[in-house]
């Protein structure tokens, strides 16, 4: 069934990107989704990330399932964990369409969606119903701020409170390029009060276990900004950093005529940039903060490169557009082979070994 994507891919690529995505979600909600399967995971892939036990380190990045419609279907596809969102407190339509562009020649996507989502109330209901029915896998919730909000920090705090008990971890998305000014929250002067408020809220959420809190970073940060963020992450003992988001840059090698569309670029052209940024954050944090590697991952070798550069786990999304659901199984298979080739009996043993 997984190979069937090769048959429907030409049809999907002829559709508008957003329409194709909506069709994909409908298929994942249908009985056909039961035919999908990620296969059994090799024991070498099992890992513990931020205290969360995962069957494998391959996660679905935020953006695919913005409204928590199909998290269990994606887990059945073979992902070790799924991150839903970005979700804002109030429903948000996002930017005008068209707002997603496939760069076919580059295996990349440009999007300027702008946190379009159903809002916290509806997503909370879906996640509550899901938790009542199934606890088959681990779910992260990616939280954002409404574009027109007068207090973005309050939006993040409200989101964290609203989803209390529904996520296995929470991601603060302050790096989307499609909400004007949002990335300014990554500066030291803005990030410090945000973390102060968020960590205070988290302390009130659970007396038994503090839910892990991650911050998602842009790939376009300057060296000085990276240093500031790393220093604050270590100071506040942040549970993890996601490195990183889409880029506003346009690598010179892009071939698609759509390359000048505004928005965040994701996919294969980010591979080198994202890997370099991961290495930088690993060095700056001294390995004390768990890292998630994201951006341009489309193979087991890509995943292994991030693991060895310091990522505890990885996430992907754009490569699924071009490779289809069978990609998850292939990455896990090839990652397992690479671990065995190099004598690692567990994925955690390989984390950060590139610098040794």
CA–CA separation, 352 vs 305, rounded Å? 10
List C-alpha distances in Å: 71 to 61, 131, 246, 330.
11, 11, 22, 20
Distances (CA, A) of 349 to 96, 110, 312: 46, 35, 10
Q: How many CA within 13 A on the CB side of residue 59?
A: 31
Catalytic residue, from 149, 176, 184, 262: name it.
Answer: 176
Residue ranges of the alpha helices (H) in 110-222?
A: 120-133, 152-162, 188-205
Q: Which of 116, 136, 10, 23 is nearest to 63 (CA)?
A: 116
Structure tokens at 130: 């899901």
Q: How far apart are CA 260 and CA 249, in angstroms?
A: 10
CA angle 331, 336, 342 (to 5 degrees): 125
- If we measure between CA atoms, which residue out of 223, 225, 206, 83 comes closest to residue 143? 83
Q: Are strands 47-49 and 264-267 parallel, antiparallel or unpaired?
A: unpaired
DSSP annotation of 252 reads T
What are the structure tokens assigned to 117, written together? 């989502």
Answer yes or no: 222 catalytic: no
Paired tokens of 45: 């892939």
C-alpha closest to that of 120 among 165, 89, 85: 89
How many Å apart are CA 86 and CA 123, to the nearest integer? 10
Sign of the CA dihedral running 319, 126, 153, 212:
negative
Q: How far apart are CA 6 and CA 17, in angstroms?
A: 17
Q: Residues with catalytic annotation?
A: 176
């Amino acid at each position: 069934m997984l190979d069937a994507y090769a048959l429907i891919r030409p049809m999907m690529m002829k559709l508008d990107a957003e329409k194709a995505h909506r069709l994909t979600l409908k298929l994942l909600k249908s009985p056909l989704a039961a035919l999908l399967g990620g296969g059994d995971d090799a024991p070498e892939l099992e890992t513990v990330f931020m205290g969360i036990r995962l069957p494998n380190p391959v996660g679905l990045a935020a953006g695919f399932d913005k409204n928590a419609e199909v998290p269990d279907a994606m887990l059945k596809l073979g992902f070790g964990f799924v991150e839903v969102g970005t979700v804002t407190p109030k429903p948000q339509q996002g930017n005008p369409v068209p707002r997603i562009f496939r760069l076919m020649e580059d295996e990349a996507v440009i999007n300027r969606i702008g946190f379009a989502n159903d809002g916290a109330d509806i997503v909370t209901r879906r996640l509550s119903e899901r938790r009542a029915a199934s606890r088959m896998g681990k779910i992260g919730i990616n939280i954002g701020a409404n574009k027109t909000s007068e207090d973005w920090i309050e939006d993040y705090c409200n989101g964290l409170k609203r989803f209390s008990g529904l996520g296995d971890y929470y991601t603060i998305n302050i790096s989307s390029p499609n909400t004007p000014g949002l990335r300014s929250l990554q500066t030291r002067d803005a990030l410090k009060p945000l973390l102060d408020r968020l960590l205070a809220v988290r302390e009130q959420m659970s007396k038994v276990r503090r839910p892990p809190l991650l911050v998602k970073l842009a790939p376009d940060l300057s060296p000085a900004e990276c240093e500031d963020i790393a220093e604050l992450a270590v100071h506040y003992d942040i549970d993890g950093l996601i490195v990183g988001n889409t880029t506003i840059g346009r690598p010179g090698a892009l071939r698609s005529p759509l390359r000048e569309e505004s928005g965040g670029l994701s996919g294969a052209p980010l591979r080198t940039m994202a890997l370099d940024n991961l290495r930088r954050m690993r060095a700056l944090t001294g390995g004390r903060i768990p890292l998630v590697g994201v951006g341009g991952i489309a193979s087991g070798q890509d995943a292994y490169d991030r693991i060895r550069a310091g990522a505890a786990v990885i996430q992907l999304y754009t490569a699924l557009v071009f490779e289809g659901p069978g990609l998850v199984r292939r990455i896990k298979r090839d990652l397992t082979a690479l671990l065995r080739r190099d004598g690692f009996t567990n994925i955690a043993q390989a984390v950060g070994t590139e610098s040794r």
